Amino acid sequence: MKVIWFTNKHVTAAVAFVFLAAGCTTTKDILSDRGRGGDVFVVMSSYPKVFEAAVETVERKDLKIIRKDKDVGAVVASDTIRFFNGGGRVAIYFQELSPSKTQVEIHSEPFIRLPSPTVYWAARKRSAELQSGIRALLA
């Protein structure tokens, strides 16, 4: 009879895998957040200009664009995991309110949903930086 020994490394790896698989944000998750809060603001500018300003802001923030759809009014981007930020996904939604007024909704979520205030603080900071970047380009 062969005995299988599990070391602390095996147990730790198994627990980490289950924890990460159960608590990760996917693109599908963040796309379903439209209309559910986030950071919503209105800019006095046309939809095409706001959309392009958002894309440029995302690129300036070194986020990788995963999906960009002007017809649907959505930009989804990804941030790499860095020390204490947890990485994450960002979704920016647009709604034309009038020819010169556009509503923007930003959702920023960490990849790994840990019970850590730093991870959520980084997501909130990312959202605020995107909002100020969009506003600055439209000013």
| Tens digit of each residue's pLDDT (9 = 90 or more) over 102-133 | 999 999 887 766 666 666 777 788 889 999 99
The pLDDT, as a whole number, for residue 33 is 65
Distance of CA 129 to the CA centre of its chain: 12
> 15 phi and psi, to 5 degrees?
-65, -45
Q: At 3, give phi and psi (nearest 5°).
A: -100, 130
Task: Quickly state the pLDDT bin for 1 (edges 50, 70, 90).
Answer: low
The rounded distance, in Å, linking the Cα atoms of 98 and 103 is 10
Q: How far is CA 8 from CA 13, 19, 63, 69, in A?
A: 8, 16, 36, 46
User: Domains (ranges, CATH) in the chain?
Assistant: 25-138 (3.30.310.80)
3-class DSSP state of 83: coil
- pLDDT tens track for 45-86: 999 999 999 999 999 988 999 999 999 999 999 887 665 555
Placement of tokens 């600055």 in the chain: 136
**Secondary element (H or E) of residue 43:** strand 39-43
For 48, the token pair is: 């095409």
